[in-house]
Amino acid sequence: MVAWTLVFHIIGLVFWIGSLLVVTQVLAIHAEEPLPETRETLGRLESKLLRGFTHPGAAIMVITGILLVTQDPNYLRQTWLHAKLTLVVVLIILDLRLTFRAKAFQEGRIEMSRRESMVFHGAISLIFLVILVLVLLKPFGLHRRQARLGTCQGANRSSGLQFTRNLTKPV
C-alpha cells in the first residue's frame, strides 16, 4: 500500500510542479505577445494547464502525502519533514498567487511582465529543488543523530552484519 501511495505521490509531483513550470513559461510568452488572437489562445492554454494538470496534481500530492504520514506517524517527528511541509505550503501559496494573477491577466485587469513570470518560475524551481534535497538526504533527520551516536536502526544493523559476515567467510 505504501509503495502505491508513493507512486501516486510522485505522479502528483510531476503533474503539479511540471505544469506550474510550463504555465510560467507560457505566461512569459503571453506577456510579450502582440497579437490579440494569439494572446487569447495562450490564455486558454494557461487556464487548461492550471485546471487540468496543476491543481489535480497538487490535490493528488496533498492527499497521498497525508496518506503516507498516516501510514507512518513517526514521520511527524522528523525535522526534515517539517521543513518540507513548510515549503509545500509556500508552493501552494505561489500556485494560488500565480492562478489569480494569470486569471486577472487574461481578463485584462492587470499587466504581467515576462520578468514576473520568470520570477515565479525561478521560485518554484528553487523550492522544488530544496524539497528534493530534503526528501532524498533527510539532512536533519533522526537517523543522522543515531549514526553520530553509533546506533543504527534494526534493518540497517542486520544488513551491515550480513555484509560483514560475507566478507569474513573463507572462499
Place of cell 559476515: 165
Identify whether the C-beta of residue 19 lies closer than 8 Å to the C-beta of residue 50.
Answer: yes
d(CA 56, CA 171): 56
- Radius of gyration of the CA atoms of the chain, in A: 22
Residue, of 20 and 145, whose pLDDT is higher: 20
pLDDT-based confidence at 166, cuts 50/70/90? very low
Average pLDDT, integer, range 122-137: 97
pTM of structure: 0.81
Kindly give, in sequence order, each residue whose CB lies less than 8 Å from that of residue 160, ignoring residues fewer than 6 positions away.
152
- pLDDT tens for 28-84 read 999 999 999 999 999 999 999 999 999 999 999 999 999 999 999 998 999 999 999
Kindly give, in sequence order, each residue whose CB lies less than 8 Å from that of residue 111, ignoring residues fewer than 6 positions away.
31, 105
